[in-house]
A and B are shown apart, each in its own frame.
Chain A
Amino acid sequence: MRRNGRSDHYDAVIVGGGVGALTAAAYLARGGGRVLLLESGERFCGNAKTVEFAPGYRAPLFSHMVCGLDGRVLRELGLAKAGLEFAQQDVKLIALRPGGKHIVLSQHRGVSASETGDESHAYRAFQKEAARMAGLLAPLWDGTLESSAAAAALVQRLHLNPRDAERVNALVRLSAAAYLDLRFGNDALKAALAFDVFPSGMSPQEAGSALALIWRQGHGGVSQIRGGPAALAIALETAARDAGAELRGSSPVASIVVEKRRAIGVTLENGEMISAKAVLTSLNARSALLGLVLPEALGFGTAANVPAPPRLATAQLMLALNGPPPFAGLKQGDLGARFLIAERPEIAAEAKGAALTGVIPDEFVIEAAVPTAADPALAPPGCHVLSALLPYMPASPCGGWETECEGLRKRAMAMLEWFAPGLKDRVVAHRLSIRGAANSSPPLSRLIAPYDFRLRTPIAGLFLCGRGTEPLDALCGRAGRLAAALAVTHSASGAP
């Protein structure tokens, strides 16, 4: 369809081709709209990559395990039929401790370890309460409760009874460490549970990190995708194409066209202009608003309030091994778990403190996984891949990452070696990657704000659906689904 001499008119155009973007495209296309997705690279994966970092060895980039994958997205888009498989579900968390006395935590099977004794009962109670709290707060996260102009108190709009309201109010102020302190006695168990808040960017000692803990507990268990996150991207791409969305690769977008504070389309770098009723993007707010929108289209105050680049980053060490990693004291079948290495509970807070000042911390937390245990296809037969996430790193350290990464790699190796003696002899290849945090806006405000606060931008008709929109940095797809819904409402309400 030609309109005013410009290129085609779509119902929605999506800038960027990651998980969130593909999900949005799929939903919008299923809803009957004409959708165009523009990705600047050749492949539609965004951050969901599985990289071949050594011949024959592939490793998931950063998201070696996923938590909080939106169940509705899986069902409604039929991703299983599109080829998405899970290598394992309900991945255990094993907190590695010296002497082989590891603590094993599982969503369904509770806690088991030699030291923790009767904490399993407390753990069940904790899971139950966390699930209940998450249920109360779910409308904030799953798209039921929108921001409203009437600034009624959060607990009132959630329609909580006074006792629950009081609990939520207290929870919003608590740190994960204090919250767990109230329920558990065993320090090691507390530390193991507390570290799961690192995708929020907060340390377990910070006020409000209890809410991040609730989010994680409330969004079900951790699973591993067969083939790594790239498989998720491929499945979503299939689903999107099947639904009728038009996916265009190698089409970098130059700018988002804004007229009278409304997004009405995009301009490609080759000059082609595409108009649409709504524009979605999986880029973060800063890149979208400051990079793609022309300065005159954005209010001065709004531009000044766009969040600053994040100060924190996560590092990932990928190791190609010619045999299974020799973790001491593991039982049969435990190799597929998530391994948590942290010597003391205060390490997270100290690491974050150091990272904020641009210094690579001396001691850090490691979450390691061996994807090949459940998904052997990622490596040659008998060989394995180990992926270790190192959160609370500085985004730009004082010496620059080029000089610092070797030192960090050595220290991480040393820590892994301590729990897996002989690991370094099995290493065939390695790679260290750094990825900045998704965004730098206050993590607590993302947790307690209704979902559309995170997805809307100051420009009407421009929505975010990428990595930075979830309260925690996790591969979900939920943002794509919700952004699509917002875009539909927007188009229906006032399309020119």
Chain B
Amino acid sequence: MDRYDAAVLGSGPEGLVAAVVLARAGLKTLLLDKAEAPGGRARSREFHPGFRASLYSDELAAIPNRLYRSLELARHGAVLLPSRASVCLSASGESVLFADEGLNALSVPPAMLPGLTAFRRQIETARAAIENRAALIATPKRRRWFGARNADDRSPAWPDSGFLAASLDELLGTHICDSTLRLHLAADAVSGRAVSPFLTGTALHALAPGVGGSGQPPSGLGRLAAALAAEARASGVTLRCGAEVTDIHIRHGRVSSLVVAGTAEVETRAIVSALDLKRTMLGLIHWKELPDPLVKRVGRFRMAGARARVLFALDGRPCFAFGRDPPGAGSGPIHVIGTMEALSSAHDVWRAGVLPEAGLVTLRVPSLADPRLAPIGKATMTATLSAIPAQLFDGPWNEEKRSRLVALALAAAERAMPGVTSLVLAHQTVTGADLETELGLTGGDLEGGEIAPDQVLGFRPFGEPEWQDARTPIHGLYLAGSSAAGAPFFLGVAGERAARAMLADLREGRLK
């Protein structure tokens, strides 16, 4: 039987970061993934000869700069190009927002500029505070197994209280009076999700916007995965792909070993799981090992996918219907949406498991900023459809339903780029069900759990002390994936925290 100091499950960005941190600390680290190549959600594929695109999402959440630097990602080739501009076409008009403040003076009415700056500053400050808190790993004085809590062990609070009580509409309304601009910012926040902007607690989406923030590496997110994997190998991680972990064995409340592909057993002192909460706790651990209330609690953690993607290979560059062809606008997100109320109805319809008539569609033509994604003269277009249930109420995804997704995407695309339908050479759809089968994400939820006040940051996955700072009630098992704190807001933070928690526990003798 192989012996390792630490095993990391899942080779998505979080798992890779965790593995690098553990290996750099000198631990013999094994990284396992059931897919044939590492990367998890950071995957791009050549979906048509000559045409590439990132498969599940064009951008992921922002990587903190200090983490980016320490992982040497630029030198491994994953230079990240941030979106230059974001466009929104709605029933009340069109609006263009640039990342650069100076250019916003050209596209936003001067009366709105101070409000926009104030809003961005509020979000930046809040995110910086969350990032600072994420860098802390509290070390508990004592830990008992399963439920008993020590009142002295209090992890410092996460600074998200300012966003709990407000709805997204109210948060935007405090800074911005123009409804077109408000809808634009709301679309940025909820792209790829099903959210009603009027409900309490949805302001959190503004802190972890659905359009991402990481930027795009050359030739798609696959490059990011390759860079992380290169750094992992350079740090000494043993990377084993095509190896699915089927069981985690627990002895006396501690992790003892795991079983790969049903047969090979690997002995390890600790496991960092970058898989989502439900798959880790309910899929890999035998239910008899966990107390009943815990099983029920994990089952109640709300995870429901709301995104679908359609990738298009276009026979030429589309022409844009908006504005004065603002520089770089096509390669950033282009939202096509009706009204703020339409977001709310889409949420209701999504809950019923029905495809919307017309919801939020976020388009991008990433080949405009990255010539590697399409042959010269041609283009790749991606469409992220929001509020699409992972499982439809009337049965599994079939060709006819997938073609409805394509139709939805093209209807929105025609609005932004007239004539684009005639340019389509090929397309590929990715549904929430595909996310579940390909990435192992329960419910097809790319976010790893609903972003709601009782499921984020200090309460992700749960608020009890034994779940804080990447730990679980099981000694030696740490959570690093999208269901762990830090996840929908930043990329790589959850993985780093899990690794650091494990190292802290090892250093202080809590792990044998």
**Direct A–B contact present (CB less than 8 angstroms):** yes
- Kindly specify which of B12-20, B231-239, B339-347 makes contact with the partner chain: B339-347
Distance of A353 Cα from B198 Cα, bound (Å): 9
Distance of A445 Cα from B200 Cα, bound (Å): 10
A contact residues around B454 at 8 Å (CB): 170, 173-175, 178, 207
Closest residue on chain B to residue A312 by CB atoms: B198
Distance of A181 Cα from B296 Cα, bound (Å): 10
Closest residue on chain B to residue A202 by CB atoms: B200
B198 in contact with A208 (CB, 8 Å): no
Q: A117: CB under 8 A from chain B?
A: no
Distance to closest chain B CB from A312 (angstroms): 10
B157 in contact with A350 (CB, 8 Å): no
Partner of A444, one of B157, B164, B351: B164
B151 in contact with A207 (CB, 8 Å): no
- Kindly specify which of B48-56, B165-173, B275-283, B388-396 makes contact with the partner chain: B165-173
Partner of A357, one of B170, B201, B341: B341
A311 in contact with B459 (CB, 8 Å): no
Distance to closest chain B CB from A153 (angstroms): 8
B165 in contact with A181 (CB, 8 Å): no
* Given A173-B454, A207-B200, A208-B201, A166 contacting B348 (CB threshold 8 A): no
A356 in contact with B196 (CB, 8 Å): yes
Distance of A311 Cα from B453 Cα, bound (Å): 23
Q: A172: CB under 8 A from chain B?
A: yes
Distance to closest chain A CB from B296 (angstroms): 9
168-201 of chain B: CB within 8 A of chain A: 170, 173-174, 177, 196, 198-201
B 326-345 binary contact with A (CB < 8 Å = 1; else 0) = 00000000000000011011
153-172 of chain A: CB within 8 A of chain B: 162-163, 166, 169-170, 172
B 154-166 binary contact with A (CB < 8 Å = 1; else 0) = 1001000000111
A contact residues around B453 at 8 Å (CB): 172-174, 207-208
* Given A178-B454, A305-B174, A448 contacting B165 (CB threshold 8 A): yes
Distance to closest chain A CB from B126 (angstroms): 16
A interface: dominant SS? helix
Distance of A169 Cα from B201 Cα, bound (Å): 14
Distance of A169 Cα from B157 Cα, bound (Å): 10
B contact residues around A172 at 8 Å (CB): 164-165, 453
Distance to closest chain A CB from B161 (angstroms): 8
403-459 of chain B: CB within 8 A of chain A: 452-454, 459
A contact residues around B177 at 8 Å (CB): 304
* Given A442-B170, A443-B200, A354 contacting B151 (CB threshold 8 A): no
Distance to closest chain B CB from A178 (angstroms): 6
Q: A203: CB under 8 A from chain B?
A: yes
Closest residue on chain A to residue B455 by CB atoms: A173
Distance of A349 Cα from B200 Cα, bound (Å): 12
Q: Which of A170, A175, A356 has the most CB of B within 10 A?
A: A356
A311 in contact with B200 (CB, 8 Å): no
Distance of A207 Cα from B177 Cα, bound (Å): 25
Distance to closest chain A CB from B171 (angstroms): 10
Closest residue on chain B to residue A307 by CB atoms: B170
B 366-399 binary contact with A (CB < 8 Å = 1; else 0) = 0000000000000000000000000000000000
Partner of B166, one of A162, A209, A305, A442: A442
A442 in contact with B200 (CB, 8 Å): yes
Closest residue on chain A to residue B302 by CB atoms: A178
Distance of A181 Cα from B300 Cα, bound (Å): 8
Closest residue on chain A to residue B342 by CB atoms: A357
Distance of A25 Cα from B151 Cα, bound (Å): 48
Distance of A162 Cα from B177 Cα, bound (Å): 40
Q: B323: CB under 8 A from chain A?
A: no
B contact residues around A175 at 8 Å (CB): 452, 454
Distance of A230 Cα from B439 Cα, bound (Å): 63
Distance of A382 Cα from B416 Cα, bound (Å): 67
Q: B463: CB under 8 A from chain A?
A: yes
72-120 of chain B: CB within 8 A of chain A: none
Q: A358: CB under 8 A from chain B?
A: yes
Distance of A116 Cα from B177 Cα, bound (Å): 50
Distance to closest chain B CB from A249 (angstroms): 38
Distance of A353 Cα from B167 Cα, bound (Å): 13
B contact residues around A202 at 8 Å (CB): 199-200
Closest residue on chain B to residue A361 by CB atoms: B348
B347 in contact with A353 (CB, 8 Å): yes
Q: Which of A169, A206, A207 has the most CB of B within 10 A?
A: A207
169-210 of chain A: CB within 8 A of chain B: 169-170, 172-175, 178, 181-182, 202-203, 205-209
B contact residues around A166 at 8 Å (CB): 154, 463
* Given A173-B453, A445-B166, A356 contacting B198 (CB threshold 8 A): yes
Closest residue on chain A to residue B293 by CB atoms: A182
B166 in contact with A353 (CB, 8 Å): no
A203 in contact with B199 (CB, 8 Å): yes
Closest residue on chain B to residue A311 by CB atoms: B198
Distance of A350 Cα from B196 Cα, bound (Å): 11
Partner of A353, one of B151, B157, B348, B463: B348
B 5-24 binary contact with A (CB < 8 Å = 1; else 0) = 00000000000000000000
A 2-17 binary contact with B (CB < 8 Å = 1; else 0) = 0000000000000000
Distance of A170 Cα from B452 Cα, bound (Å): 12
A208 in contact with B348 (CB, 8 Å): no
B contact residues around A305 at 8 Å (CB): 174
Distance of A175 Cα from B200 Cα, bound (Å): 10
Distance of A169 Cα from B156 Cα, bound (Å): 13
Partner of A162, one of B151, B173, B201, B459: B151
B165 in contact with A444 (CB, 8 Å): yes
Q: A346: CB under 8 A from chain B?
A: yes
A206 in contact with B201 (CB, 8 Å): yes
A170 in contact with B348 (CB, 8 Å): no
A356 in contact with B452 (CB, 8 Å): no
Distance of A174 Cα from B345 Cα, bound (Å): 23
Distance to closest chain A CB from B449 (angstroms): 13
Q: Told that A173-B454, A207-B452, A357-B341 touch, could you supply 17 new A-B pairs with CB distance under 8 A?
A: A162-B151, A173-B164, A173-B459, A175-B454, A202-B199, A203-B199, A206-B201, A207-B453, A209-B200, A346-B351, A349-B351, A350-B351, A353-B196, A356-B198, A442-B170, A444-B201, A445-B165
A-B CB contact pairs (8 Å), 17 listed: A162-B151, A163-B151, A166-B463, A169-B157, A170-B454, A170-B459, A170-B463, A172-B165, A173-B459, A175-B454, A202-B199, A206-B200, A206-B201, A305-B174, A356-B344, A357-B342, A357-B345
Closest 7 CB pairs of A and B: A207-B201, A173-B453, A357-B341, A444-B165, A173-B454, A353-B348, A207-B453
Seen from chain B, the residues whose Cβ lies within 8 Å of a Cβ on chain A are: 151, 154, 157, 164-167, 170, 173-174, 177, 196, 198-201, 297, 300, 341-342, 344-345, 347-348, 351, 452-454, 459, 463
